[in-house]
C-alpha cells in the first residue's frame, strides 16, 4: 500500500478530503468503505423494475447558502430546480408544512390575516401561564399552542423517538417555526436542487482521479484487510469518518443513535400521493412519512406504469444498525467530550464527518467542514510539515 493519505469512509466528508488531497496536493489517496458502494448515506440507485432513482438511506435534498460549497459541488454536477415541499396527513385531511398561514387557516376553518393568526397562536401558547415547561408536551404547547401542537407535532415526534410524549425531555425542541405567510418552501437556503443525473454520478465524479484508489467492502477494523487500523496507524496519515466510539473500542461507552427502517414498495400505478413527501403525524399510523421518489425528478421521463414509495419508521439503533441521528443524552454528551480528548491525542489521525464527530450534518455542512479540515490541517501538514493532530 503506497498511499500518502488513508481516508476511512467514502461519504461526502471523506470524498471531499480525498478529492482535494488528490487534485490540490497531488497526493495518492486510498479511500476505504465497508459498504459495497461509495457515497455514504447520500448514495442512490435506479430501482430495478422501474428505473426510478431511489435514495437508499432516506430522501436527500441538497440545499445550501454557503457560496464556497455551492461552487465546489457544481464542479461535479449540475442541479435541477427542484424545491422541496412537505405535506402532512392528519385525520383524513392534508395540510401544508411547516406550519404556515395556510395550515392555520385550514385547521381552524378561518381566513385569518397574518396579524390575527399571530394573536391567536400567542393566546393559545399562553395556556400554561408562567409555568416553566417541564416536559416536551408543555414545551410544545408553550411554543405554538395546544391545538396545532397536538395535531402536527406531538405524536409525530413521539413516533420518531418511539417514546411516550410525556416522557420526552423538553430540551429536544427549542423552537417550532410558524410562518405567518403562505410560503411553504421547506428550506430557506439561497441554493437548492437535486443532482441532475443522480447522486451516485456526482459522488463517483468526486473520486474519479488517477491518484484516488477506492476499496469497497473493506472494514477498517478487519485485521484481514491490508488497510486496517493496526497496519496503518502511525505509518500513514488517516482521516477517519466512521463512528468515533468504535475507533476507540467503545472505551468511553457507546454513543446512542436513532436509526430508520425504510420499507420500499413498487405500486402498479402512475402516482400514489402526488408529492414527494407526506408526513403522517397521527398516533394510529406506525410510520412517520412516505416518500414517493418519482416526484423528486418531475423533469425525467419515468414510466407511467409504476411508482416507488418508501415508508419510514424510526427507532433506537443497536450496535449493528445504521446510526442516523445522534440522540445526545447527557451521558452521550459526557462520553463525547472524553472521546474528543482521545481523538485529539491520537497522533496522525483526524476525525471528521457526522459519525466521527457525533453530529448531525447536512450534506453541505459535511462538505464545508471537510473543506475547512483540508485548509487548516491537511494542507499545512503536507506543504509545511505541520503535525497532523
Ligand atoms: P456518511 O455519509 O455516513 O459516510 C460515512 C461512511 O463511512 C459510510 O459510507 C460508512 O460505510 C463508512 N464507514 C463507517 N465505518 C467504517 C469502517 N469501520 N470501515 C470503513 N468504512 C466505514 N443531508 C442533506 O443535506 N439533506 C438531506 O435531505 C439529508 N437527509 C438525510 C436523511 C437521513 C436519514 C440521514 C441519515 C442523513 C441525511 N442527510 C441529509 C445527511 C447526509 O447524509 C450527511 O451529510 C452525510 O451522510 C454526511 O457525510 P459523512 O461523510 O459525514 O457520513
Ligand atoms: Na488526532
End-to-end Cα, the chain, rounded Å? 22
354 among known catalytic residues: no
179 among known catalytic residues: yes
CB of 35 closer than 6 A to ligand 1?
yes
> Among 289, 294, 354, 377, which one carries the catalytic annotation?
289
CB of 41 closer than 6 A to ligand 1?
yes
CB of 160 closer than 6 A to ligand 1?
no
Domain ranges across the chain:
5-45+53-82+194-255+326-384, 93-172
Q: What is the pTM of this model?
A: 0.95
Q: What's the confidence (pLDDT) of residue 387?
A: 87
State yes or no: pLDDT of 1 exceeds 70.
Answer: no
* Phi/psi at 226 (5° precision): -60, -45
> Among 34, 89, 233, 258, which one carries the catalytic annotation?
258
Q: What is the average per-residue pLDDT within 93-104?
A: 97
CA 342 – ligand 2 centroid, Å? 8
Grid cell for residue 327: 440522540
> Among 109, 130, 175, 284, which one carries the catalytic annotation?
175
Dist CA 3 CA 212 (whole Å): 9
Atom 9, ligand 1: residue with shortest CA distance: 40
Atom number in ligand 1 closest to CA 35: 11
State yes or no: pLDDT of 338 exceeds 90.
Answer: yes
Grid cell for residue 211: 491518484
Q: How confident is the model at residue 336 (pLDDT cuts 50, 70, 90)?
A: very high
Closest CA to 286 of 253, 318, 323, 311: 311
State yes or no: pLDDT of 345 exceeds 90.
Answer: yes
State yes or no: pLDDT of 319 exceeds 90.
Answer: no
Most confident of 61-65, 230-234, 331-335: 61-65
Q: At what angle do helices 114-125 and 136-144 cross, to 10 degrees?
A: 150
CA 330 – ligand 1 centroid, Å? 24
Grid cell for residue 121: 397562536
State yes or no: pLDDT of 389 exceeds 80.
Answer: no
Q: What's the confidence (pLDDT) of residue 117?
A: 97
CB of 228 closer than 6 A to ligand 1?
no
Q: What's the confidence (pLDDT) of residue 271?
A: 98
Mind spelling out the 3-state secondary structure of the chain? Answer: CCCCEEEECCCHHHHHHHHHHHHHHCCCEEEECCCCCCCHHHCEEECCCCCCEEECCCCCCEEECCHHHHHHHCCCCCECCCCCCEEEEECCEEEEECCEHHHHHHHCCCCCCHHHHHHHHHHHHHHHCCCCCCCHHHHHHHHHCHHHHHHHHHHHHHHHHCCCHHHCCHHHCCCCCCECCCCCCCCCCCEEECECCCHHHHHHHHHCCCCEEEECCCCCCCCCCCCCHHHHCCCCCEEECCCHHHHCCCCCCCCCEEEEEEEEEEECCCCCCCCCEEECCCCCCCCCEEEEHHHHCCCCCCCCCCEEEEEEEEEECCCCCCCCEECCCHHHHHHHHHHHHHHHHCCCEEECHHHHHCCCCCHHHHHHHHHHHHHHHHHHHHHHCCCCC
* Phi/psi at 342 (5° precision): -65, -40
CB of 58 closer than 6 A to ligand 1?
yes
185 among known catalytic residues: no
Q: What is the average per-residue pLDDT within 162-185?
A: 85
48 among known catalytic residues: no
Atom 34, ligand 1: residue with shortest CA distance: 58
Dist CA 146 CA 48 (whole Å): 45
CB of 40 closer than 6 A to ligand 1?
yes
- Class at the top of the CATH hierarchy for domain 5-45+53-82+194-255+326-384: alpha beta
362 among known catalytic residues: yes
CA 351 – ligand 2 centroid, Å? 7
CA 65 – ligand 2 centroid, Å? 30
Mutate to test the pocket of ligand 1, among 16, 43, 187, 241 (most ligand atoms within 8 A of CB): 241
Atom 32, ligand 1: residue with shortest CA distance: 58
Q: What's the confidence (pLDDT) of residue 174?
A: 79
Query: Mind listing the pLDDT tens digit for each residue in 358-384?
Result: 999 999 999 999 999 999 999 999 999
Amino acid at each position: 500500500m503506497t498511499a500518502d493519505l488513508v481516508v476511512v469512509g467514502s461519504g461526502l466528508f471523506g470524498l471531499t478530503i480525498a478529492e482535494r488531497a488528490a487534485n490540490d496536493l497531488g497526493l495518492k489517496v486510498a479511500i476505504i468503505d465497508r459498504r459495497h458502494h461509495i457515497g455514504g448515506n447520500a448514495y442512490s440507485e435506479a430501482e430495478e423494475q422501474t428505473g426510478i432513482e431511489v435514495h437508499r438511506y432516506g430522501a436527500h435534498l441538497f440545499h445550501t447558502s454557503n457560496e464556497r460549497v455551492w461552487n465546489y459541488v457544481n464542479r461535479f454536477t449540475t442541479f435541477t430546480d427542484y424545491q422541496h415541499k412537505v405535506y402532512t396527513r392528519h385525520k383524513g385531511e392534508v395540510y401544508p408544512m411547516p406550519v404556515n398561514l395556510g395550515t392555520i387557516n385550514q385547521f381552524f376553518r378561518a381566513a385569518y390575516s397574518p396579524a390575527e393568526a399571530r394573536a391567536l397562536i400567542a393566546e393559545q401558547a399562553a395556556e400554561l401561564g408562567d409555568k416553566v415547561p417541564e416536559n416536551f408536551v408543555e414545551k410544545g404547547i408553550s411554543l405554538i399552542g395546544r391545538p396545532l401542537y397536538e395535531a402536527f407535532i406531538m405524536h409525530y415526534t413521539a413516533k420518531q423517538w418511539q417514546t411516550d410524549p410525556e416522557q420526552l425531555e423538553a430540551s429536544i425542541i427549542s423552537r417550532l417555526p410558524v410562518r405567518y405567510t403562505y410560503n411553504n418552501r421547506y428550506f430557506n437556503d439561497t441554493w437548492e436542487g437535486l443532482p441532475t443525473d443522480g447522486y451516485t454520478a456526482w459522488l463517483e465524479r468526486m473520486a474519479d482521479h488517477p491518484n484516488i484508489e477506492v476499496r469497497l467492502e473493506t472494514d477498517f477494523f478487519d485485521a484481514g484487510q491490508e488497510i486496517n487500523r493496526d497496519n496503518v496507524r502511525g505509518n500513514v496519515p488517516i482521516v477517519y469518518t466512521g463512528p468515533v466510539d468504535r475507533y476507540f473500542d467503545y472505551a468511553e461507552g457507546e454513543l446512542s443513535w436513532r436509526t430508520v427502517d425504510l420499507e420500499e414498495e413498487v405500486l402498479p400505478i402512475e402516482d400514489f400521493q402526488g408529492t414527494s413527501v407526506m408526513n403522517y403525524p397521527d398516533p394510529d399510523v406506525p410510520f412517520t412519512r412516505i416518500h414517493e421518489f418519482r416526484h423528486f425528478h418531475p423533469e425525467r421521463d419515468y414510466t407511467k406504469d409504476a411508482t416507488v414509495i418508501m415508508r419510514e419508521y424510526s427507532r433506537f439503533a443497536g450496535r449493528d444498525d445504521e446510526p442516523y441521528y445522534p440522540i445526545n443524552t447527557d451521558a452521550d454528551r459526557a462520553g463525547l467530550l472524553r472521546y474528543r480528548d482521545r481523538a485529539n491525542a491520537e497522533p496522525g489521525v483526524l476525525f471528521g464527518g457526522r459519525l466521527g464527530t457525533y453530529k448531525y450534518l447536512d450534506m453541505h455542512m459535511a462538505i464545508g467542514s471537510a473543506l475547512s479540515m483540508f485548509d487548516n490541517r491537511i494542507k499545512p501538514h503536507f506543504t509545511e510539515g505541520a503535525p497532523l493532530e
